[in-house]
Amino acid sequence: MKSKRKVFNNYEKINGGDYFVCDDLGRWGIFGEEEFAKISSGEKDMYSPEISGPWTEIEKPYRYPLLAKENYCGPSLHIMVITLACNHACLYCRVSPEAGGDMTTNMTARTAIKAVDAILSTPNENITVEFQGGEALLNWPVLKEAATYAMRKNVTAGKNLLLSIVTNFSLMDEDKFNFITENGISVCTSLDGPAELHNKNRRYGKTGAHDKVVYWIKRFLKANPGGEADSLPYALMTTTKHSLGMPEEIVEEYRKTGLGGIFIRPLSPIGQAGKIWEEIGYTPEEYEKFYSACLDKVFEINRAGDRFIERACVLLAKKLLQHKDPNYLDSKTPCGAATGQLAYNWDGKIYTCDEGRMVGAMGDDLFLLGKIGESSYGDILTAPAARTCCMASCVESQPKCCRCAFKYFCGLCPVHNYAVQGTPWGDINGSYWCGIQKAVFRTVLSAIKDEKKRDIIDGWLDWE
Ligand code: SF4
Ligand code: SF4
Ligand code: SF4
């Protein structure tokens, strides 16, 4: 008599009538309707040789790498908000930036030095210090002093230290370029697509900043000939409603700029973006269509012979196919708030993460952990906000997520929940965040099931 017991824990219907089935060890498979019917009735189990095929990953459970201790050895990303001032007026900016000339929200050199001291005394051996704003270059003297001090102090601290500057490039010049490249500092900028789209999303003066962004990306790429094509500099795109009709043009813009890949990212309905969501937002279904079209264009470029990656796809594929946690802080359980990253505000306040700091900039300190020079590392990691974020972002303790087949490969954002639903815990059932995660899962899993696309994705897995 055949067993009727269910041998899998969760399933999700994905594209093309297939089902994604995942057990509690993170072993998964993609099955057609017929096979799925046999599995769900108990006639077969997903591990049977006659039912498992090339689309199953049943040998290597994912749950163990997810718990690897190297992922939990203190925050590695330290964000120094060097100023709130900005000279852009981007549609979706999640902080209301201060006027470009207003330097009252500049971090002082004294605070910056104390922040570096605090950062280099945290336990993780791998430390990234990210200088950002507002527009970080508006407080260049302090940024330069803090970067120089960090490099000098690290001679004795002995960390694997990476310095990075997030900038819109509008104030980049030869002196800054030389300092950055000579000291091996990386830069990260925003590029939303072709000039028409970029300048519509990211408003700057009368002409927009697109051409300047492209110019400096090319200069930095040229200065880093030994690096990976997709390493230095980084560029990030943010999807607005205006992007939805331009997937091919956006991908092509990245390719022709010389970047080795693109990171397709959804917009969060937080802060300013939330206030004008009707104008710039979209549904998860619209995002899925857009993301799928972007990915198709990326595959087309690869089929024509160029290696050009899509990072959201790689991050997921590393978990699904390589059984590795890429330590992407917004997509792990618990998320990276406080345990993976810390944000040091211009005024010395320390927050769970950059997004928590943005909530603070709107006058709400729910995600505040402490103050530079006053709070110990222990105070910070045991602050109520740190504990709240850990509990709220643990997929296994969320009633909706704990029954979801994607849970081991997914992540939750307490700041998003709080901004959109009024509580860090949130209501995941039907939440926008969840809708977007599922859209990405369905698209990537469909690509993995397509033999030709899978070959291309396999070729990206060495990306770090
Ligand atoms: S450049 Fe950055 S800080 Fe300035 S308005 Fe745009 S998103 Fe906001
Ligand atoms: S957020 Fe949504 S997709 Fe992610 S684990 Fe939770 S229920 Fe699943
Ligand atoms: S709270 Fe949200 S933004 Fe902050 S680290 Fe967690 S997932 Fe990322």
Cα 38 to ligand 1 centroid, rounded to whole Å: 53
Q: To test ligand 3's pocket by mutation, which of 357, 390, 415 has the most ligand atoms within 8 angstroms of CB?
A: 415
Ligand 1, atom 3: nearest CA belongs to which residue? 134
Cα 133 to ligand 1 centroid, rounded to whole Å: 8
Beta bridge pairs of residue 236: 190
- Closest listed ligand to the CA of 99: 1
pLDDT at 67: 58
* φ, ψ for residue 132, nearest 5 deg: -150, 180
Residues of the chain falling short of pLDDT 50:
1-5, 7, 97-99, 229-231
Cα–Cα–Cα angle for 200, 202, 207, rounded to 5 degrees: 70
Q: 207: burial class by Cβ within 10 Å (0-12, 13-18, 19+)?
A: exposed
Name residues contacting ligand 2 (CB within 6 A).
395, 400-401, 404, 406-407, 410, 412, 428, 434, 437-438
Q: Is the CB of 213 under 6 A from ligand 1?
A: no
- Round to whole Å and give the CA distance between 431 and 284: 10
Residue 125 in contact with residue 119, Cβ under 8 Å? no
The predicted-structure confidence for 125-148, as pLDDT tens digits, reads as follows 999 999 999 999 999 999 999 999
Mapping DSSP onto H, E and C, the string for the chain reads: CCCCCCCCCEEEECHHHCEEEECCCCCEEEECHHHHHHHHHCCCCCCCCCCCCCCEECCCCCHHHHCCHHHHCCCCEEEEECECECCCEECCCCCCCECCCCCCCECCHHHHHHHHHHHHCCCCCEEEEEEECCCHHHHHHHHHHHHHHHHHHHHHHCCEEEEEEECCCCCCCHHHHHHHHHCCCEEEEECCCCHHHHHHHEECCCCCCHHHHHHHHHHHHHCCCCCCCCCCCEEEEECCHHHCCCHHHHHHHHHHHCCCEECEECCCCCHHHHHCHHHHCCCHHHHHHHHHHHHHHHHHHHHCCCCCEEHHHHHHHHHHHHCCCCCCCCCCCCCCECCCEEEECCCCEEECCHHHHHHHHCCCCCCEEEECCCCCHHHHHCCHHHHHHHHHCCHHHCCCHHHCCCHHHCCCCHHHHHHHHCCCCCCCCCCHHHHHHHHHHHHHHHHHHCHHHHHHHHCCCCCC
The predicted-structure confidence for 414-448, as pLDDT tens digits, reads as follows 999 999 999 999 999 989 999 999 999 999 999 99
Structure tokens at 42: 């108990």
Residue 95 in contact with residue 358, Cβ under 8 Å? yes
Name residues contacting ligand 3 (CB within 6 A).
329-330, 335-337, 341, 352-353, 355-356, 389, 393, 413-416
* Distance set, CA 244 to CA 192, 271, 281 (Å): 12, 21, 10
pLDDT at 56: 61
Going by C-beta distance under 8 Å and a sequence separation of 6 or more, which residues neighbour residue 356? 337, 343, 366, 367, 368, 385, 389, 415
Cα 196 to ligand 2 centroid, rounded to whole Å: 35
pLDDT at 26: 81
pLDDT at 267: 95
